[in-house]
Structure 1
Amino acid sequence: MTTPVSTVMSPARYVQGKDAITRIGEFVEPIGKRPLIVADDVVWGIVEEAVRTAFDAAGIPVERIGFGRFATPSAVDTLVDAIREHDVDVVVGVGGGSAIDAAKAAGHLTEIRWVSVPTAASTDAPTSALAVIYSEEGEFLEYRFFPHNPDLVLIDTNLVAHAPVQFLVAGIGDALATWVEARAAKRANADTMAGGLQTETGVALAELSWRLLHENALQAVEAVRARVVTPALEKVVEANTLLSGLGFESGGLAAAHAIHNGLTAAPQTHGLAHGQKVNVGTVAQLVLEGAPAQEIEDFVVFTTKVGLPNTLTEIGLTVDDSDELRAVAEAATEAGETIHNMPFPVTAEMVVDALVAIEGIARRIRADHGLPEPELYRHH
């Protein structure tokens, strides 16, 4: 029998700051001399000049390949072929979580190093040693785990400030789940995504992410609306990207992300961001675990003010969509899903009940606080 151990994983280096993209050559050069950049056309149009200038200064050639919408098995295989064709020694994922995940997966398969360069603080994926793989339609297929984290994570907060505000908001939704899930996993003494028991470090970082978000999220959202970098934005970018990344990986996932994965089985949700669906999962987890009424109320009020969905209505579902909710719940409770890290057994029926319950709970809380009634989120 293998002796259980506690473990924590992290990127080899994390770099964050205004105009950090202008120094990418300096930080990539010690890692590899023949990079392949993975970026979609929109992202490349934004960063190309800065990346080329920085790589030229470091004497590094620029080879770039485009990317679609999702990290699918075929997208990963395409990158593997490109890496081998160009004799690449480091793959650099630039843009959103899926481009970065595909780059990580391809780097692992070709046994080269990899770098994450998120252009928005929209998920905690960039720091992790795993990739989330989807179907062409955006349905969750699997997690792929790797033996190490990225060699470098570099995030330019000026790019974050100029990205659409809903990206930052989605990242806040993803990061808020981290502490709620880590504390549940702690009660269950569950294994984490890092392949061992929790460390106190992982749990503490998850809680720090939660605290920074509650203190700074509303101000950070306003900073992005104004397209400026402020100390509040810097703290939220760190919470969304680094602290949440370390916190989920070494602190443990539970129901919120499993319910997110289940929600991808409902076509109505396919246009929504990862963090939007995760936030609905977090509210459902709070209901599942019988969290204190005040805690649920505070979470609904805060996430409504931030601009996150906390009802079925906002993600295109209703309490009467029995077939869809059943499919979501069954996917969320499949064997191996992180919902089984909860400190009690969870069934599909319990998930359906929690998802139905959040609609009325959130509507009542929002009405009591004079907050807007739920409306369908515009997909993007």
Structure 2
Amino acid sequence: MSKIICSPGEYIQGKGEMKRLADYYESADRKGLFLVKGAYMIVDSFFSTEQYKKQITESFQKKNITFSFNVFGGECCMKEIEKHKNNMDKYDMVIGIGGGKTLDTAKAVSFYAHMPVMIVPTAASSDAPCSRLAVIYKEDGTFEKYLPLRSNPDMVIMDTEVIAKAPVRFLVAGIGDALATCYEAEACEQSGIVTMAGGQSTRAAIALSQLCREILFEDGLKAKIAVEENVSSKAVENRPFEEIVMLISFCKSLGLPTTFKDLNLSDVRDEALMSAAQASCDKDDTMGNMPFTVTPEDVFAAMKTANRLASFVPQMY
């Protein structure tokens, strides 16, 4: 029996990726997709009023690439898919921006139009954006069928600034979904079942799922706190969770301040925190000694996340 692993053609994650979508469209062309017409974007209705629309517009206009925003109708049904497919004549790539049904619609349009697709989730609620499957519903919202696709998306772009602004419940759902993946993968390996990829699980897939579980145990709570504070954090320098807990607990035992409240700053405003963050990153300050670039936004996010995290940790003695 063959062993098969499937994944998106390219997965990109980072801050500010939304303003680089035109760059990724061009890079797809350099990879042999021969894109020359432009990008057809299917976006959630709420997205059209967001600041990101301006960023995307400037990105494509700067490179003189044709593009259009097309609002998702609300249901991933064949009528909606056909509507967008019939408008694809002037374009050669589908870009889906939004939640699950919007992204599934983009994948289905790509499938029926035989064109590449770029997926841009606005929440990290599941691993569905990376899958080679679209869920099709009837117009009344009831389930109709699963649509197996020829391949996983050509590109998946995760802008962590956008993800951080989504409701916390979406991130928590995504953490739960990702956590289950490890146990699902191990079960598939042990049973030798043929997966949706058409073969048995590979050791690489198992290793990735186990690494995913380790990262969730290490950074899941820190990430949740960062999103609750509406910031995109590096999970407090990605230090081991046990080390962070031990450090906070030790400081509390000594009576060292670990929260804004300890500093008599319970009511401190975000504007004041940002001013302090900007001052700490002044070119004449010592922040330049760090082994990586630190921005005021990074410092602001770290302060907010550390403050919340400390509220969960008891003192050592």
Pairwise same-fold verdict (TM > 0.5)? yes
Residue 79 of structure 1, CA deviation = 1.7
C-alpha distance after superposition, 1:302-360 (max 9, x if no partner) = xxxxxxxxxxxxxxxxxxxxxxxxxxxxxxxxxxxxxxxxxxxxxxxxxxxxxxxxxxx
Residue 233 of structure 1, CA deviation = 9.3
Whether 1:80 aligns to 2:77 is no
List runs of 5+ in structure 1 lacking aligned partners.
Answer: 236-380
Inter-partner Cα distance in structure 2 for 1:37 and 1:234 = 35
2:232 to 208, 229, 234: 229
1:113 to 102, 107, 116: 116
Inter-partner Cα distance in structure 1 for 2:67 and 2:237 = 29
The answer on whether the counterparts of 2:97 and 2:120 sit within 8 Å (CA) in structure 1 is: yes
Counterpart residue number, 1:6: 3
From the superposition, tell whether residues 12 and 234 of structure 1 become closer, same or farther in structure 2 (CA, over 3 Å): farther
2:216 to 192, 213, 217: 213
2:170 to 167, 190, 195: 167
Residue 52 of structure 1, CA deviation = 0.4
C-alpha distance after superposition, 1:186-245 (max 9, x if no partner) = 22111112121111111111122122112211111110111111123998xxxxxxxxxx
Inter-partner Cα distance in structure 1 for 2:86 and 2:25 = 22
**Equivalences for residues 49-128 of structure 1 within 5 A:** 49-84=54-89, 87-128=90-131
1:21 to 14, 18, 21: 18
1:30 to 27, 32, 36: 27
Whether 1:41 aligns to 2:38 is no
Counterpart residue number, 1:259: none
Residue 137 of structure 1, CA deviation = 4.5
SS of residue in 1 equivalent to 2:27: coil
The answer on whether the counterparts of 1:93 and 1:116 sit within 8 Å (CA) in structure 2 is: yes
From the superposition, tell whether residues 137 and 97 of structure 1 become closer, same or farther in structure 2 (CA, over 3 Å): same
The answer on whether the counterparts of 1:220 and 1:233 sit within 8 Å (CA) in structure 2 is: no
The TM-score with structure 1 as length reference comes to: 0.57
**Structure 2 letter corresponding to 1:58:** K
The answer on whether the counterparts of 2:44 and 2:99 sit within 8 Å (CA) in structure 1 is: no
SS of residue in 2 equivalent to 1:37: strand
Inter-partner Cα distance in structure 2 for 1:101 and 1:161 = 22
SS of residue in 2 equivalent to 1:63: strand
The answer on whether the counterparts of 1:157 and 1:234 sit within 8 Å (CA) in structure 2 is: no
Inter-partner Cα distance in structure 1 for 2:113 and 2:229 = 42
**Equivalences for residues 164-313 of structure 1 within 5 A:** 164-232=167-235
Counterpart residue number, 1:158: 161
Number of residue pairs the alignment of both structures matches? 230
The answer on whether the counterparts of 1:41 and 1:66 sit within 8 Å (CA) in structure 2 is: yes
Question: RMSD of the alignment, in Å?
Answer: 1.9
Inter-partner Cα distance in structure 2 for 1:138 and 1:61 = 33
Inter-partner Cα distance in structure 2 for 1:223 and 1:151 = 30
SS of residue in 2 equivalent to 1:197: coil
Residue 35 of structure 1, CA deviation = 0.8
The answer on whether the counterparts of 1:161 and 1:224 sit within 8 Å (CA) in structure 2 is: yes
Inter-partner Cα distance in structure 1 for 2:170 and 2:11 = 20
From the superposition, tell whether residues 211 and 16 of structure 1 become closer, same or farther in structure 2 (CA, over 3 Å): same
Inter-partner Cα distance in structure 2 for 1:149 and 1:58 = 27
Whether 1:132 aligns to 2:110 is no
The TM-score with structure 2 as length reference comes to: 0.68
Instruction: Kindly name which structure, 1 or 2, has the bigger radius of gyration based on alpha carbons.
Output: 2
Residue 11 of structure 1, CA deviation = 1.5
**Structure 2 letter corresponding to 1:189:** G
The answer on whether the counterparts of 1:223 and 1:233 sit within 8 Å (CA) in structure 2 is: no
**Structure 2 letter corresponding to 1:17:** G
SS of residue in 2 equivalent to 1:30: helix
**Structure 1 letter corresponding to 2:85:** V
Inter-partner Cα distance in structure 2 for 1:69 and 1:123 = 19
SS of residue in 2 equivalent to 1:108: helix
List runs of 5+ in structure 2 lacking aligned partners.
Answer: 29-34, 239-317
Give identity over the alignment, percent: 37
